[in-house]
Chain A
Amino acid sequence: MKKTCPSSNAPFPESRPAVWDFKRLFHPRTVAVIGVSLERDRHPANVIFNKINLRYSVDVFPVNPRGGDLFGQKVYTGIQAIPHTIDLAIIIVRAQYTLDTLMACIDAGAGGATIISGGFAEVGRLDLQQQLAELARQRGFPFIGPNCLGFYVPGCMDTFFIPSERMIRPEVGKVALVSQSGGVLVDLMTKFAEQGIGLSLGVSIGNKALIREMDLLRYLAEDPDTGIIAFYIEGFAHGEGREFVQAARRYAKPVIVLKAGKTREGIRAVSSHTASMAGDYEVFSAVLAQHGIVEAANELELTSFCEVLSCYQDSIDGRVGIISSSGGHGSLAVDICSRHGLSIPAIDPRQQAEIRADLIPSVQPIASLGNPIDLTGSATDGDFQAAAQHLARSPELDCIILLLLPYSPEITSDLGARLSQVCKHNNKPLVAYVPHVDRYRMLIEGFEFNGVPVSSSIKGAVLMVEALRRSRPC
């Protein structure tokens, strides 16, 4: 038997809609939290209810078959008892009650659901989640999960059972994150918040009984709020990888994938060289690259890639110009660039002379203007601008890395904003490295608010450039 993902045993019925309508689900005006506890304040459903009730401008209704009240609000005995049509049902009841609950949601005309509850394929009850998926498919009703955290739309809605005070929230932005693991999603969101990367939507798809990567790829490709689509994937359902890569290649938006489970499972007896050498991960990685999907090796890469692709979407060849105020930083960056297959073309003497003429007299004799450019610790904002101006206009280069150590006395905190403008005017992507400490915040934000990504390490900056080279077959 072929190995398949837990959710994939059933063949896909013909009736599966090509595109699900997620509008009411992801942007609800009315929400029911089904399964609140009348006794336990810290019950996950209560945490979700409280959070939505206090933070978001939607009408939210608690549901428990026993009725009663919760913090003075009427608890409804079922979704059908609520006197409004519900856009989003958050289901957090025991696994054995989910099917009836889902049926009630559909009958009550809800727009969609997220099933937070566990107790399905992950504990050997594939049958239970298959019943849910079958019902939902028949009735054309989208639901996320089960066994998931649900989703997060900045400023609009979140279904996470993480208390408000413990949530780290990225700002509104262009990146959509789809994760098979809720924990990984939350962790990535924390990193996004730290790095100032904005999110359009974060979805934890859990056991993906109904809604899978493919459904969200299709939706997000058309979603005007989303510019970059990032996935954390453990594995595709049987045959679904083919459909996914073919669709991703058709869409203009960059697609980034972080794959877990890269190591080979045990040693299977294989009778051909091809089967032995073309392991699951080797195939995965090669096929992604073949279709222009950016593969991130780890969370650091995923974060860097999302940050840079939020700023620039055009693919480059990887001919890099490097500007720094420290020779050492330039050399380190060159080493990392070469390891990643990026080239550092030399700057010809005529162009060097032109750059030199634009530097201040005290820097002119001491600056090194080959590539990497070392403007030295005496450089001023104007010197950086001059060098960036020349490199931005050079047809030999398709990207600039700026390594900025703000110790130099002549550098001001306006430099970020100024250099960003230079590169914007010349339509050349700029990536900066600035040590991430609080006192440089204004400098860093000068870049970031002007659409230039800033990494906290040299390597991170190089990785960002690498991500811009989207087509990397090997």
Chain B
Amino acid sequence: MLKTQTKTVIDASHTRGWVSEPDAKRLLATAGLTVPGFTLVTDPGRIQSAAQDLGFPLAAKVVSSRILHKSDHGGVKTGITTTEELAAVFERFARLDGFEAMLVEEMVSGLELIIGGKIDDQFGPVVMLGMGGTGVEIYQDISLRMAPVGPEDVASMIKCLKGGRLLSGYRGGVVVNRDELTRTLICFSEFFMAVAEMIESIDLNPVMCSAKRCVVADARIVLPTE
């Protein structure tokens, strides 16, 4: 089921080389991961109702077949608190290269983690957990395991992160719900195993983890190049 759905989405995404964020999130939600409430806006007349449905504060992101790294192109705006602000962001996004829609999402908070997957030539599907956010490639604080992973693997992945203590409420910070994080990684690893042959790599970055839940705030599914 998931596989068929993924194949349909991927077949439709081949020309751009990656799966658009809203499509990726729909697939991940089907796989059992938690994604923020979102709506797609293509018509400025729909801005007000979108804002009312989701409730402020909101995040907005550009959906474009030409833009993979959205923040590099000014295609992300977070902490939006008024309809006017949201309308202004829409106007700006509409001028970006390849604009298709504006993704409007509820804001989620928590510790920023990255969950990823890649197909390794020697070992096949491999999953990654790391300290996330924009500094992810600077700190390179990651744990890797061959998929599929079980609860023991996840526990050892967390233990192996240098920043692992940050997950336990270091100096009054957020205490991450371990069961939810474990469930999220296991669901992700199962999803990745199921669709591995169609995909090159996946980044869920950031995954916002709090005491209640782990929410995939951004997702990038990269397809193999022929």
Contacts and interface: CB of A to CB of B under 8 A. Distances in A.
B32 to A, nearest CB: 20
A4 B121 contact: yes
A473 B120 contact: no
B121 A3 contact: yes
A242 B122 contact: yes
A134 interface: no
A77 to B, nearest CB: 44
B123 A242 contact: yes
B160 interface: yes
Contact of A278 (B142, B153, B156, B220): B142
B201 A272 contact: yes
B222 A241 contact: no
B142 A277 contact: yes
Interface in B113-154: 114, 116-118, 120-124, 126, 128, 130, 136-137, 140, 142-146, 153
A245 B159 contact: no
B210 interface: no
Interface string A203-238: 000000000000000000000000000000001111
Contacts of B201: 270-272, 274-275
A273 B114 CA distance: 9
A455 to B, nearest CB: 28
Contacts, number: 108
B100 interface: no
B222 A275 contact: yes
B18 interface: yes
Interface bin, chain B: 35 or more
Interface of B is mostly: strand
Contacts of A284: 122-123
A299 interface: no
Nearest to B221: A272
Contact of A242 (B124, B136, B137, B144): B124
Interface string A252-294: 0000000000000000001111111110101110110011000
Interface in B192-215: 200-203, 205
Q: Which of B116, B120, B136, B220 has the most CB atoms of chain A within a 10 A radius of its CB? A: B120
Interface in A1-44: 2-4
B62 interface: no
A3, A241, A283: residue with the most chain B Cβ atoms closer than 10 Å: A283
A474 interface: yes
Nearest to B125: A242
Given A242-B146, A273-B136, A273-B205, A278 B122 contact: no
A473 B144 CA distance: 10
Report which residue of B68, B126, B144, B157 has the largest number of chain A beta carbons within 10 angstroms of its beta carbon.
B144
A273 B144 contact: no
Contact of B222 (A272, A278, A287): A272
Interface residues of A, number: 31
Nearest to B226: A1
A287 B123 contact: yes
B203 A273 contact: yes
A474 B143 contact: yes
B39 to A, nearest CB: 26
Contacts of A270: 201
A19 to B, nearest CB: 22
A274 B122 CA distance: 16
A469 to B, nearest CB: 14
A239 interface: yes
A473 B156 contact: yes
A414 interface: no
A240 B122 contact: yes
A291 B222 CA distance: 28
Contacts of B18: 271
B123 A274 contact: no
Interface of A: 2-4, 235-242, 245, 270-278, 280, 282-284, 286-287, 290-291, 473-474
13 contacts: A242-B122, A245-B146, A271-B201, A272-B222, A274-B116, A274-B203, A277-B137, A277-B140, A278-B144, A283-B120, A287-B146, A290-B156, A473-B160
Interface of B: 17-18, 68, 114, 116-118, 120-124, 126, 128, 130, 136-137, 140, 142-146, 153, 156-157, 159-160, 200-203, 205, 220, 222
State the 5 A-B residue pairs at the shortest beta-carbon distance, nearest first. Answer: A274-B116, A474-B160, A241-B122, A286-B144, A236-B122
